[in-house]
Structure formats: structure tokens, C-alpha cells
Structure 1
Amino acid sequence: MQKSLIAVLLSSALMTLALPGAQAADLIQVYQQALANDATYASARSSLDAGRERTTQGRAGLLPSVSAQGSNTRNNGDFRPFNEGQLITDGSGIGFVTRRDTDNHVNSYSVTLSQPLFNWAAWQTYQQSKLVQAISEATFAQARQDLITRVAQAYFDVLTAQDNLTATQAQKTATTEQLASAKRNFEVGTQTITDTHEAQAAYDLVVAQEFAAITDLDNKRTALQVITGKPTGELAPLRAGVTISAPEPAAIDPWVSSAEGQNFSVIASQLQLEISKRDISRNRAGHMPTLNLAASTSHQSTTASGTQKNNAIGVTWSVPIFSGFAVTSQVREAIALEDKARNDLEATKRLAAQNARVAFLGMNSGLAQVKALEAAEVSSKSSLDSNKLGYQVGVRINIDVLNAQRQLYATQKDLSKARYDTVMNGLRLRSAAGTLREDDLAPINALLQH
């Protein structure tokens, strides 16, 4: 009953995969999913939105500021003198001392405008804010490149795991047949028990490898799902015998030069160095005077004294004289940070150049490996066929066939991985050079079997 149920489920799954609408997702489709759902990329996009506000904030220090303030109060009380009720005489006659009310209503408001006329620190802050926004733009561009390479790497990791599982299962099938053959030959007395033991050991090993391959494939699919935010299902594999294009230009120097000048991490470090330079000037402004245009209007109305209005306009200035050596210390700190930024820029350039060299050499080496492994695959197939024939006629033993099988499947695994690594090195090369774009996925996507 359980076997029948499993058979029904497997048949349903195979029928579902065979439906015309159940197409495998390709690289561009998976990238579009990641573009909409990847949390790391969404975080970078939010950082970009935040960075774009820095220019507005920096410009605010150069624009006029207007403020208004006011009050509306009512006082209610009375005044009771100590000699209340006493008879007093003055020039107007005779009377008694009495208490009196002290109610008073005060309504006042004022509007003040201040426009900086000279503030060197505010000007440098504004220039720095534009550089900070440019850094956020470069950082986001790097994040988009990283998304392309992360998606491609996760995609080809899944394909590599699938190829490993397929090759392992094919090896398991072949080993099963070889084990059955060894058992039959032992039963009829044409071979020794050693052949059976060797075939059994090979079968047990490939079963263990199959479990490991299944687990690895599940892990790789989970890693891709982390980026796309949803299960991707079946993926389109590379077509058999595809030709991978060599890097263009074919020389390494143009790629290294591009990496040192156009890599987005290098650009961000260059902008950070410029910010550090302006930070020195901004701190030195602590020794400079500031000049502001000030204008104000005020209105005050009281019950006791009536209404008073006042308008004022003029210039205010401030000259720093002594700040406890704080400004001097801040300037020295800014100079040290500028030196740090310059060293960081040099380190970033060297790293970008190294990444470009590694990717370029890796791509060319990968192309050579693919060509060699394609030839090795043909040779391994011929060797396996020869060993099978020799086994049948008695000139080869069982272990020779098993070794030939292992060599063929190992070569096929290495060939598929070499192709994926070569494609990835091409993407990393463009990323290091700062030229990787979404359009670069189209030629790779055309290599897939849709």
C-alpha cells in the first residue's frame, strides 16, 4: 500500500513537471525576483534614499532661517496696602486708603530672520554634503553589481549541485548493474568473490555520496531562496557543449586600469578622501569670524501701557578668540583622518586591481580547463567502453570498470563546474572593473536551455 502511494505521488510530480506551463526559471527571471525581494539590496536602496537628503541638509546652513515666537498672558490680582482703611489727606481732598485691582493683559509676538553672510564652516559642510550624496550613489551602484554576482553565484551553485546529484545517481545506476553482474558471474563460477566485494564497496560509497549530494542541493536551493525571497523551482541548465566567450579586451592591463579608476568602491574612497580634505578646512573655520544679516519685528500690547511696535535690521558678527586649543586639536585630528583616507583609497585600488587580475586569469584558465575537460570526457567515455568490453571478454576485471566509471563521472562533474566558474569569473571581472550591468546577464542567459 505504501509503495503504491509513493508511486502515485511520483507519477503526479512527473506529470506536473511535464506540463507545458511548468517551465524552468532562467537566470534573468531569478534576478528579477531578487531585485524585488532581496533584503540586502532593499537596505542599500533605503540607504541611497537617505543619502540623497544630505545635500538639502547641507544647503540649509547657507539659507535664511526665520522663527516666530510670542505669548499671550492675563494677570488677575489685587493690591492691598498695609494702611488700608486709614484716612488720608492730599491736594484733592480727604479719603480712605483702599485696595485696588492689578488685572493686566499682555499680548506679544516677534518674527526674526537671520541670513548667513559669511560662514566658512557652513560652506564646507554644504560641499561635504554633496560628496556624501555621491558616495551613497556609488555605494548603491556597487550593491547592484553585488546583487548580480550573488544571484549568478547562487544560481550556478544550484546547477552545480544538480549536476553532482545527476552524475552520482548515474554512477549509482552503473554501479548497481556492475554489482549485479559480479554476483551473477560469481554464482556461475566465472569470477571470484573479490569482484563482488569490490562492486558492493563501490555501490555503498556511491549511495553515501548520493545522500550528501541531495543535502547539498537542498542547501544550495535554500541559499538562492534567501536572495529571491521565494522558492524558485526548477532552473534552466546550461546547454550541452556551449561555447563561453573570452574576455574582451584580451589583455589584462585595460581591465586593471579600469578597476583602479572605475570600480565603485574606489570611487567611494576617492570621494571620502575629498570629504576628509574639506573637513580640515571646516575645522580651521573655528578660527574665522562669522557674519549674519539679522532682521526682526515685534509687537507688544498691554492693558496698562498700550501697544508698542518695533522693527530692526542690521548685521551681527562673531570673532572667536580662544577656545581652549579645541580648534587646533580638531584640525590635527582632521589631518590625521585625511592621511587615513588616502591610505584607505590606495588599499581599495590595490584590492580592486587584484580582484580584476584574479578574475581575468581565472576566466582564461577556466576556458583552457573547459577545453581540456571536454577532451577528457571523450577519452573517459572511450576508456569506460573499452573496459566494459574487456570485462565481458575476460581481459579486464571488475575494479577496472568501476575505476573507469568513477573517472568518467568525476570528469563530467569537473567539466560542469569549470563552465560555471568561468562564467562567474567573467561577471566578477566586469564587477571589479566597474562595468558590470544588468544587460551582461543576457548573453549568459542565452547559454541556458529554455
Structure 2
Amino acid sequence: MGAAHADSSMRHPRLLLGAALTPLLLMQGAHAYTLEQFWHQAFSHDPRIQVYRRQLEVASTAQPLALAALLPQITAGANVQFATEYTQEPYNSVQPDTALLEENSRTRTESWSVQLQQALFNWSALQDYQASGDQVAAAAATYQEAMQNLENQATAAYVQWLLADANVRSLQEAEQGFARQALTAKARYQAGTTGILGADEAQVALRQIQAQLADARAQWQVARQKLQQFTGTPAPDRAPTLPQKIRLSWSTLTLWKAAATQHNPALAAANDQLAAAQKSVSAAWGGFLPSISLVLAHQWQSQHGTLGYRLGSLSADNLPNPYRNTESSAMVELSWSIFSGGSQQATLHKARYQQEENFQLLLATERSVEKQLGADFADLNGARQQSALYRRALLVARHASAAAEDGVRVGLVTENNAIIDRQNVLTVRNALNSANAAVVTHYASLAATAGVLTPTRIRQLSVALSPLRESSHESSPIKS
């Protein structure tokens, strides 16, 4: 009974310590600077985002401008005119010596008019409007491509920051290990159990690690500044730990190609531009066709004033002189360009040339996307294989290093062998970090090429890079 009570009391401090550390660990995880948080900051503060948005807004005005040619055109005008007139001429022009007729008038004329013109048939304007829709779609695809390229760049910058921080941590741990080994080797040399060569080799290895650590810290500062270019704010002092195994949905190259066919923004933009060019050719043909419009007009005019005259002894002043006129008309107008000096033929040739150019651009884009997909997929597979091999090699290297340290203590292994084994651990660990960083970078590049590097994909990458990863977030690249 007493033993059981003692055992229970011994376990209570561990439980209390675990309960105390759990909120701290959760707090650290909650405040970890994840990839998703970094991208949200970049999306809110990177000036390039605003540039891409403005470009899309400007391109989107093409469709309303083209639609205006098909909508009713209403014009209105108003006029007020003041006039004073005085004339003097012979009353009888055949006999110039007769009495003179003098006339004077003061008038105010008011008028207004309204005209409505509606296109009944205008093939060129109709095709231009349909082409403008394709142009806006191409602009939207270009905006999406720019956004995904920026997401890819941001992901690469974030992963490089994780890699730089992981290398610093590895070198700091190695520095501590080499420092202990150098101190132990010096103590054994002073005790006469080893030679001066082993102690010196340990010191040389320690200085080399310290030099590498200084370079790694400089690289970490560079990576940290790179993050600040995206967000405008300094990155945290410490980065989350780079996982030793990246869990993502890999899929096959065939699925990635299928995703690119549906979602790649460069392909979508090229297809939309080709469709717009085809409609532009049809619009150019419309220049040889007549255009028919309906014109409705209404005009109102009113004149007020006085009239006076003088002829010999006869005279009159301030006689009213009113005038009013109202006119309405409806007209169907047909306009047909019979000869325009060859401008229509030149417009048609230019449209055909643009169509052929856009077709060749589409073929080149398809080949470029297919080539990039193959290269990204090969790089991703290579990085995955390297990561798996380095994980196994790290286990072996750690076991060999531990065995070498034990061998040094009993005099079976030299200090030089222990140094080599410890350096192998560091080399393999850094190589594993680089391979894992390459896995994420190539995966993001592959997703961007396929056109599926969406915010959902960024979140999946963020979860894969988090200390607590959930396999439930893995999905097919096409569904994302």
C-alpha cells in the first residue's frame, strides 16, 4: 500500500509538469509562423498584388467599350440665340431713286433637339463585342498566372527561410558536440591517454564548424530579408522546424497533365486570345458588309422678338414677330463602304496575321507547359528519393557516430574517426534538410505549372510543414 502510494506520488510531478507544458506547447504551435500566415500577409501587403489587380481592372473595360457600339446612342442639344438686325434698301429696286425702306428687328431664338440612333445590323461591332469577352477572360487568366507565380515565389522564399534556420540549428548542435569532443580530447591528452594529434584535430573540426555556422547565420539573414520583401514586416527570429518527412499527395504525371489542361492559366489565356483573334477576323470581314441603323429625331424651335420698319412717312416699331416650329422624324439608315482605299483589306490581313500568331503561341505554350511539367515532376521525384535515402543514411550515421564516441572512450577508435563520423552526421542532416526543402519547392512549382497552386493548396503545404500534420488534408491535385 505504501509502495503504491509512493509510486503514485512519484508520477504526480510528471503529470503536473505535462499539464503545465501542454498550454505552452500549444501556444508555441499557435504562434508558429506558418506558410499560410505568411502568404496572407504577402497577399495583403505585397505591392505587386495591387499592380495585378489594376491591370485586370483596366483589361475588364474592353467589354463595356465594345458593348457601347451596340447600344442606343442618344444625343441632345439646346441653343439660345440673340440677334439684332438692321437693313436699308430701296423700296423699289427697279427705281433706285425711290424712298428707302428701313427695317430693324430684335429676336431671341430658343431650340432643342434629341436624337436616338440604334444599330440594327453591324456585324463588325457584334464580333468585336464577342471578342472583347475573350480578351477579358484572357486578362483574368493572366492575372491568375501572375498570382500563382507570386504564390510559388513566396513558397520558395518561405521554404528557404525554414532551410536556413534548420541549417543553423544543425550547426549549433554540431558545434556543441564538437566542443565537448575537443574538451574531452584535450583532457585525455593531458592525462596521457591520447596523443596531441587527436586533440588538435578536434580543435580544427570545431573551428571549421564555427566558420560554417557564421556563414549559415548570414544565409539565414538573407532568407529573412527575402520574406520581408513580400510582407513589408520583419520575419520572426525563429522559424518552425523543418520536418524530416514531407507528407503530400503526389499523384502521377498523367494526373498533373490533366490538371494543367483544365487549370493552367497560361494555356487558358492562349486559348482565349486565339478565340478573340478568330472573332477579330470575322469583324474585319464585317467591314465589307453594310450597317443598318434606326434614327429617331425630334426638334423644337421658338423665336420671340420685335420688328420695326420705316418707309417715307410710314413707320412702325416694336411689332411682335413670334415663330415656333416642332419637327419629328424616323429614318432607317443604311451605310455601305464601297471603296475605302484598301483599308478594309489591310485590316483583314492584319487580323489574319494575329490569328496565326496566336495559334502558334498556343502551340508553343502547350509544349512549354508539358516540358515544364515533366521537369518539375522529375525534380520532385528526385527530391523525394533523396529525402528517403538521406533519412535512412541519417539513422546509420547517428549510430556510427555514437559507436565511434564509445570506441574513443575505450581506446578502440581514434579521435579522427570520431570526428569524421560526427561530420558525416552533420553532412547527411543538412542534405536531408535540403532535400525536404526541394520537395516542397518542386511540389509548389509543379502545382503552379498545373494551375492548381490555389489558397487551398497553400494551406495543404502549410499543414505539411507544420509540426502537427494531418493526413486528412491530402487530396488529389485535380480536386484542389
| TM-score computed with the length of structure 2 as normaliser | 0.79
How many residues align? The count is: 424
> What displacement does 1:410 show?
1.7
> What displacement does 1:232 show?
3.7
Deviations, residues 244-283 of structure 1 (Å, cap 9, x unaligned): 24513xx322322332443121011001011111111222
User: Using the alignment, how far apart are the partners of 2:92 and 2:272 within structure 1?
Assistant: 87
Q: Judging changes above 3 Å, is the alpha-carbon distance between structure 1 residues 410 and 391 closer, same or farther for their aligned structure 2 residues?
A: same
Name the residue aligned to 1:309. 326
Name the residue aligned to 1:353. 370
Name the residue aligned to 2:58. 50
| Bigger CA radius of gyration | 2
Deviations, residues 207-264 of structure 1 (Å, cap 9, x unaligned): 332222222212212222222332342566357554524513xx32232233244312
Residues 164 and 213 in structure 1, CA contact (< 8 A), matched pair in contact too: yes
> What displacement does 1:420 show?
2.4
Name the residue aligned to 1:4. none
Instruction: Tell me the SS of whatever aligns to 2:205.
Output: helix
User: Using the alignment, how far apart are the partners of 2:193 and 2:102 within structure 1?
Assistant: 137
1:29 aligns with 2:31: no
Deviations, residues 91-113 of structure 1 (Å, cap 9, x unaligned): xxxx9869764433122221111
Deviations, residues 42-85 of structure 1 (Å, cap 9, x unaligned): 33233333344332222111111001112212234655x599xx
The amino acid across from 1:321 in the alignment is: I
The amino acid across from 1:276 in the alignment is: A
Name the residue aligned to 2:82. 74
User: Using the alignment, how far apart are the partners of 1:235 and 1:436 within structure 2?
Assistant: 26
User: Using the alignment, how far apart are the partners of 1:400 and 1:329 within structure 2?
Assistant: 81
Residues 244 and 432 in structure 2, CA contact (< 8 A), matched pair in contact too: no
Q: Judging changes above 3 Å, is the alpha-carbon distance between structure 1 residues 285 and 354 closer, same or farther for their aligned structure 2 residues?
A: same
User: Using the alignment, how far apart are the partners of 2:224 and 2:426 within structure 1?
Assistant: 23
User: Using the alignment, how far apart are the partners of 1:145 and 1:193 within structure 2?
Assistant: 59
Name the residue aligned to 1:6. none
- Select the residue among 93, 113, 117 that pairs with 1:110: 113
Name the residue aligned to 2:316. none
> What displacement does 1:337 show?
1.6
Q: Judging changes above 3 Å, is the alpha-carbon distance between structure 1 residues 181 and 77 closer, same or farther for their aligned structure 2 residues?
A: farther
- Select the residue among 467, 470, 479 that pairs with 1:449: 467
Instruction: Tell me the SS of whatever aligns to 2:69.
Output: helix
Instruction: Tell me the SS of whatever aligns to 1:295.
Output: strand
The amino acid across from 2:260 in the alignment is: A
> What displacement does 1:191 show?
5.1
Q: Judging changes above 3 Å, is the alpha-carbon distance between structure 1 residues 292 and 98 closer, same or farther for their aligned structure 2 residues?
A: closer
Instruction: Tell me the SS of whatever aligns to 2:339.
Output: coil
Deviations, residues 347-395 of structure 1 (Å, cap 9, x unaligned): 1111222222223223322222221101110111122223333434445
Residues 369 and 449 in structure 2, CA contact (< 8 A), matched pair in contact too: yes
> What displacement does 1:116 show?
0.8
Residues 62 and 115 in structure 1, CA contact (< 8 A), matched pair in contact too: yes
User: Using the alignment, how far apart are the partners of 1:418 and 1:235 within structure 2?
Assistant: 21
1:209 aligns with 2:204: no
Residues 244 and 367 in structure 1, CA contact (< 8 A), matched pair in contact too: no
Name the residue aligned to 2:165. 162
User: Using the alignment, how far apart are the partners of 1:244 and 1:19 within structure 2?
Assistant: 22
Trace 1:52-201 onto structure 2 (pairs within 5 A): 52-76=60-84, 101-185=104-188, 187=190, 194-201=197-204
1:274 aligns with 2:270: no
User: Using the alignment, how far apart are the partners of 1:51 and 1:417 within structure 2?
Assistant: 42
Tell which deviates more after alignment, 263-272 or 70-79: 70-79
Q: Judging changes above 3 Å, is the alpha-carbon distance between structure 1 residues 76 and 210 closer, same or farther for their aligned structure 2 residues?
A: farther
Name the residue aligned to 2:360. 343
Instruction: Tell me the SS of whatever aligns to 2:108.
Output: strand
Q: Judging changes above 3 Å, is the alpha-carbon distance between structure 1 residues 371 and 170 closer, same or farther for their aligned structure 2 residues?
A: same
User: Using the alignment, how far apart are the partners of 1:435 and 1:419 within structure 2?
Assistant: 21
User: Using the alignment, how far apart are the partners of 2:101 and 2:202 within structure 1?
Assistant: 126
User: Using the alignment, how far apart are the partners of 1:143 and 1:89 within structure 2?
Assistant: 86
> What displacement does 1:160 show?
0.4
Deviations, residues 411-435 of structure 1 (Å, cap 9, x unaligned): 1111122122223333333332233
Name the residue aligned to 2:437. 420
> What displacement does 1:323 show?
2.1
> What displacement does 1:203 show?
3.4
Name the residue aligned to 1:9. none
Name the residue aligned to 2:287. 286
Tell which deviates more after alignment, 140-149 or 321-330: 140-149
The amino acid across from 2:467 in the alignment is: Q
User: Using the alignment, how far apart are the partners of 2:186 and 2:209 within structure 1?
Assistant: 18
Name the residue aligned to 1:318. 335
Name the residue aligned to 1:429. 446
Residues 161 and 213 in structure 1, CA contact (< 8 A), matched pair in contact too: yes
Name the residue aligned to 2:419. 402
1:39 aligns with 2:57: no
Residues 24 and 235 in structure 1, CA contact (< 8 A), matched pair in contact too: no
User: Using the alignment, how far apart are the partners of 2:156 and 2:243 within structure 1?
Assistant: 20
> What displacement does 1:178 show?
3.6
The amino acid across from 2:384 in the alignment is: L
Instruction: Tell me the SS of whatever aligns to 1:63.
Output: coil
> What displacement does 1:131 show?
0.8
Tell which deviates more after alignment, 371-380 or 302-311: 302-311
User: Using the alignment, how far apart are the partners of 1:264 and 1:177 within structure 2?
Assistant: 56
Instruction: Tell me the SS of whatever aligns to 1:103.
Output: strand
Identical-pair percentage: 24
- Select the residue among 222, 226, 230 that pairs with 1:223: 226
User: Using the alignment, how far apart are the partners of 2:92 and 2:35 within structure 1?
Assistant: 108
| TM-score computed with the length of structure 1 as normaliser | 0.83
Aligned residues: CA RMSD = 3.1
Residues 186 and 196 in structure 1, CA contact (< 8 A), matched pair in contact too: yes
Residues 244 and 423 in structure 1, CA contact (< 8 A), matched pair in contact too: no
Residues 76 and 113 in structure 2, CA contact (< 8 A), matched pair in contact too: yes
Instruction: Tell me the SS of whatever aligns to 1:446.
Output: helix
The amino acid across from 2:67 in the alignment is: R
> What displacement does 1:181 show?
4.1
